[in-house]
Amino acid sequence: MRRIEIFRKDKSTAMKDIENSCKIALVQAEPVMFDKSASLKKTLQWIAEAAAQKPDLIVFPELFIPGYPVGMNFGFCIGKRSEDGRKDWKRYYDASVVSGETEFQQLAKAAQETGAYISLGFSERDAVNGTLYNSNVIFEPDGSYKVHRKLKPTGSERVVWGDADKGYFPVTTTPWGPIGSLICWESYMPLARVALYQKGITIYISPNTNDNPEWQATIQHIAIEGKCYFVNADMIVRRSSYPSDLHETDAISRLPELVCRGGSCIIDPYGHYLTEPVWDKETIIYAELDMRLPAACKMEHDVVGHYARPDILELKIYDKSCGDHE
């Protein structure tokens, strides 16, 4: 059986010399829930603040526009919906972003002005159908971008966002090697991780809303497994983050005051904390990544290279983002 590897078809992801240092600004912040305009304004403010330190890469959490509605169910139960829940869902739908439209144009301009790559989680509203997607976009300094849609929303996320129908594993070529993202619990999909490893990523971005202590063990494991930097981009969500005029007041009132504590951090390819997790506050975490490490760490362990057995195990990927039938 023929071994199929995406990175052999994509010259942009071939192993080559890269720059030795990448400066990152990791934003841990509270979104402006259900408000697209205010969310965009806050995003641009954080970008401007980070830009003063001249980072190469600026990273935001999952669904930062227009926020991750933790604890809400939008009136869904098995076999039934409520009209009040439908109104809240429509409000979230209206606050979601269509790729390429006005909000993207402003974010692309910010990338051009700062000269940085910008990774941002957002609720994507499809331009044609009525489906929302939990998506992450990476803007390049020239204003171009690639969008990744979450392959499989987790649990009751499925009543809000659909399964990805394209943009499965896009990677962005940078001076520091290919970078890509998986969103939150996508990282618990082992084959999805391998799909990124096969593309040679050096920086693995994880926009998420996961302050569970077990998650910290997960991200250390992934950094070791993939021999890459793991950027854990989490957010702050408070009960007061939710608009007071939503219909689903009972569910929101039962939430703790601090709904999501953050925990953003950066893990190096050895599985060590380059920056320790930050809890309970908005901040920007700055760090210099030694980009010599991802290759150096592969001396004894390269999960898609000399530590693989393609004659026994292979991964086939049907990736619409590159138009190939893998």
CATH number for the domain harbouring residue 158: 3.60.110.10
| C-beta of residue 294 within 8 angstroms of C-beta of residue 269 | yes
Structure-block tokens of residue 176: 């520091």
In terms of Cα–Cα distance, which of 21, 17, 19 is closest to 54?
21
Residue 19 lies in a domain: yes
Marked catalytic residue, from 30, 36, 184, 297: 184
For residue 309, being part of any structural domain is answered with: yes
- Contact indicator for 31, 65 with CB cutoff of 8 Å: yes
**Residue 150 annotated in active site:** yes
Q: What does the pLDDT read at residue 63?
A: 98
Q: What is the pLDDT of residue 321?
A: 56
What pLDDT shows up at residue 167?
Answer: 79
Respond yes or no: is residue 62 known to be catalytic: yes
Of the residues 62, 124, 186, 225, which is catalytic? 62
Position 149 scores a pLDDT of 97
Closest alpha carbon to 137 in 82, 84, 100, 83: 100
Is residue 258 in some structural domain? yes
- The total of structural domains in the chain comes to 1
Q: Is 34 a member of any domain?
A: yes
Active-site hit among 42, 150, 227, 298: 150
Q: Write out the chain's pLDDT in tens, 326 residues.
A: 333 343 333 444 446 789 999 999 999 999 999 999 999 999 999 999 999 999 999 999 999 999 999 999 999 988 999 999 999 999 999 999 999 999 999 999 999 999 999 999 999 999 999 899 999 999 999 999 999 999 999 999 999 999 999 879 999 999 999 999 999 999 999 999 999 999 999 999 999 999 999 999 999 999 999 999 999 999 999 999 999 999 999 999 999 999 999 999 999 999 999 999 999 999 999 999 999 999 999 999 999 999 999 999 999 888 765 433 33
Paired with 139 in beta bridges are 118, 145
Query: Domain range holding 134?
Result: 6-325
Q: Is residue 1 part of a domain?
A: no
